[in-house]
Amino acid sequence: AQTVTQSQPEMSVQEAETVTLSCTYDTSESDYYLFWYKQPPSRQMILVIRQEAYKQQNATENRFSVNFQKAAKSFSLKISDSQLGDAAMYFCAYRRQGAGSYQLTFGKGTKLSVIP
């Protein structure tokens, strides 16, 4: 079974600074997707960034980028120029390709605080 581990329950960052959230996963599959989701307090979860495992290039979305290390099964999220609105729970998630690919497997999350 696939597992996703987020080893940092809480992180904090100064506004305008850069922070990196860690995620490792365990799978025997070679083709899969990885995601970072953001869940603000009392708001719905939204997709921040996704990475296809077959792509060597790291995904970027504006201030958000990932460091995908397939061999190490590591998928960290870097947030640059942190803003107050970035404060939220961040979840790393995995989804396999092919049969049984309906479900996302989430980590326990990292609570990010942004200090003004």
Partner 1 sequence: DTGVSQDPRHKITKRGQNVTFRCDPISEHNRLYWYRQTLGQGPEFLTYFQNEAQLEKSRLLSDRFSAERPKGSFSTLEIQRTEQGDSAMYLCASSLALTGELFFGEGSRLTVL
Contacting residues toward partner 1, per CB under 8 A: 4, 33, 42-47, 50, 91, 93, 97, 100-109
Q: Pick the closer one to partner 1 by CB: 11 or 104.
A: 104
In the complex, minimum distance from the CB of residue 66 to partner 1, in angstroms, rounded to a whole number: 16
Q: How far is the CB of 103 from partner 1 (least distance, A)?
A: 4
Residue type, 27: T
3-state helix, strand, coil in the chain (%, to 5): 5, 50, 45
Q: How far is the CB of 112 from partner 1 (least distance, A)?
A: 15
Q: Which is nearer to partner 1, 5 or 14 (CB)?
A: 5
Query: Tokens in use for 76?
Result: 């960290």
Least separation in angstroms between residue 16's CB and partner 1 is 29
With respect to partner 1, which residue has the nearer C-beta, 20 or 33? 33
